[in-house]
Structure 1
Amino acid sequence: MTTEPTPHRAGFVSIIGKPNVGKSTLMNALMGERLSIVTSKAQTTRHRILGILNGDDFQLVYSDTPGIIQPKYELHNAMMSFVYSSLEDADVVLFVTDIYEKHDEEPVVERLRKMVDTPILLLVNKIDQADQEEVETKVDYWREHLPNAARVLPISALEKFGTGELLDLVLGYLPVHPPYYPKDELTDKPERFFAAEMIREKIFKLYKKEVPYSCEVGIEEFKEDETIIRIRAVIYVERASQKGIIIGQQGAALKKVGTWAREEMEKFFQKKVFLETYVKVDENWRTDPKALNRFGYSQ
């Protein structure tokens, strides 16, 4: 007597929500890998980043997306296009809120209410920072305001509380389908993308106010030998004054960014890295479609 093989399941899982609710932390927790940069500042994620989780009989393709905002310029429009295209592709939607939610995301909630054919799992994140009564109140609120959500789950992405149950739930909603990507792939992004993101993360962590939001990172050279990766990166800013801030007195601030990013890259790539960083002024990069296309903000 032979047993039937377990059918292979595969699908796309869109992770959406407002800025700074923990979407990137959640994807990293679900993947068991650090693919998305995480900082305490809002709007850190600018691209749609795919994380591909493979098992013997499944393939989950997670989309970490930018935080949902009201666009103010062309960069924001590009970021929001990543969000909405991920919803169109989704077999399952993970709508991430947090315990501090002020409930001002009505436009996206209205869109989700219309998604009657796609399972929505609403996640109340950061419950490690709240008491039981606060958590129950928040869960009850969302059950009332998004009644078509398949489940409302309290989680802590940082502490990985509830993420195991979440993975099991998501797998249950996936359609029977062959894998969309080769089984040894972890993401759809090239290595140079992650090199740029690691530099950008350090900028967000080291600088204040508007400076990190005015920066973009371009990788002009990425050469890999057997024992070393040589990377030349350019940090673009909008004003000459910002260039001075990024470089710092006698280049000390830029050196700190480079050292910190290089150490992170060596862990990520498992290889020695030689990193050169430069700073250039491009006043219109956030509004110029050609510049945005050069930095990968096109579908």
Structure 2
Amino acid sequence: MTEEKSAEAPGQEGIVLPPARKVPAGFRCGYIAVVGRPNVGKSTLINRLVGEKVSITSHKPQTTRDRALGVLTREDAQYIFVDTPGFQSRYKSGLTHYMNNVVRGVLTDVNVVLFVIDASGWKGADEEVLRLVPRECSVILVLNKTDEMKNRDALLPLMALSMQKFPFAAIVPTSAKKGTQCEELLTEIRRHLPEDGPYYDPDLYTDKSSRYLAAETVREKAFRLLGDELPYGIAVTIDKWEEDERHANIVATLLVERESHRPIVIGEKGAKLREISRLARADIEQMLGKPTHLEVWVRVRRGWSDDARALKTLGYS
């Protein structure tokens, strides 16, 4: 058997460099921030464009709480989407302060901004977020949820009105839910990305760990099943993670802020919590590609969303 030796950079003995990738001429790569008020479909849009589940979705505000990258690599470009929380002006807490700072921070260092609004028209909250958007980078307006429009003739007047509000580089009507015009949106984004080689491995689709994605999956199922029964003050921690090649064993805790919230999450005879666990386990098994045992518990942590120490423990800092 012939022994293979890895090449080492001069003066960097012991540091093994990956083989150089041949980048096609004209390849483009850059960061794209996806911003907008809550519930305009930002996370659904990123999941659709990347082709993988990067961010959880629900109809509740504040579903997305942190920055998450979604990476799509094509033959001629690598798109690095940055999902952001919906900018909040209505609710004030330590958590919303953190989320708003995430939005501001992301906007300072991207190549393209996708500004997403509902195709039904501009709202006051949309204009509040628009004031945060820098004019130095290319800003593309995405008119999402066109599948819900009753009168598509309203699109042209909406586009004309939008150009009066901001010098958008382009306006693309889409339906993230149906996938309508998403390829056209990618084509438009590519025009505004700099020529550069890929920043991430082509097989990577997110920068988040499996533990993070599992916790988010449990939170998503809780949001969807509880509907309006519970306020947004719910978080998830992963307390145990055992994994080998054939099986995964996970223990998670749903944190609620009040004792009165606990029975809502558990449901009658534990039915609601069992359903949250069942749905989350199915998604986590698909993500990990192996059988998974998932236990979900409920614990009260009073006022965690406005407690600096609790927010830091949960990763919101």
With the shorter chain as reference, the TM-score category is over 0.9
Q: Deviations over 1:83-118 (max 9, x none)?
A: 111111210000000123442032322233xx2320
Residue 162 (structure 1) aligns with: 181
The answer as to 2:179 corresponding to 1:182 is no
Residue 123 (structure 1) aligns with: 142
Q: CA deviation at 1:45?
A: 1.1
CA contact (8 A) 2:37 2:129 kept: no
Question: Which deviates the most, 159-168 or 201-210?
Answer: 201-210
Aligned length: 292
SS at match of 1:180: coil
Residue 59 (structure 1) aligns with: 78
Identity of aligned residues (%): 38
CA contact (8 A) 1:220 1:233 kept: yes
Correspondences of 1:93-112 after superposition (within 5 Å): 93-104=113-124, 105-112=126-133
Correspondences of 1:100-249 after superposition (within 5 Å): 100-104=120-124, 105-112=126-133, 115-130=134-149, 131-146=151-166, 148-209=167-228, 211-249=230-268
CA contact (8 A) 1:124 1:138 kept: no
CA contact (8 A) 2:70 2:205 kept: yes
Q: CA deviation at 1:152?
A: 1.3
CA contact (8 A) 2:240 2:252 kept: yes
The answer as to 2:77 corresponding to 1:46 is no
* TM-score normalised per structure 1: 0.93
Residue 85 (structure 1) aligns with: 105
Q: CA deviation at 1:210?
A: 5.7
Measure the CA separation in 2 of the matches of 1:16 and 1:40. Answer: 17
CA contact (8 A) 2:142 2:174 kept: yes
RMSD over aligned CA atoms reads 1.6
Residue 54 (structure 2) aligns with: 35
SS at match of 2:159: helix
* TM-score normalised per structure 2: 0.88
SS at match of 1:213: coil
Q: Which runs of 4+ in 1 moved over 6 A?
A: none
Measure the CA separation in 1 of the matches of 2:118 and 2:177. Answer: 12
Which of the residues 259, 275, 279 maps onto 2:294? 275
What are structure 2's unaligned runs of at least 5 residues?
1-22
CA contact (8 A) 2:234 2:256 kept: yes
Q: CA deviation at 1:17?
A: 0.4
Measure the CA separation in 2 of the matches of 1:48 and 1:138. Answer: 30
Which residue identity does 1:125 align to in structure 2?
N
Residue 266 (structure 1) aligns with: 285
Q: Tell me: CA distance 1:286–1:126, structure 2 relative to 1, closer, same or farther (3 Å).
A: same
Q: Which has the larger radius of gyration?
A: 2
Which of the residues 14, 19, 22 maps onto 2:33? 14
CA contact (8 A) 1:204 1:212 kept: no
Measure the CA separation in 2 of the matches of 1:152 and 1:272. Answer: 44
Question: Which deviates the most, 203-212 or 259-268?
Answer: 203-212
Q: CA deviation at 1:293?
A: 1.6
Measure the CA separation in 1 of the matches of 2:170 and 2:112. Answer: 12
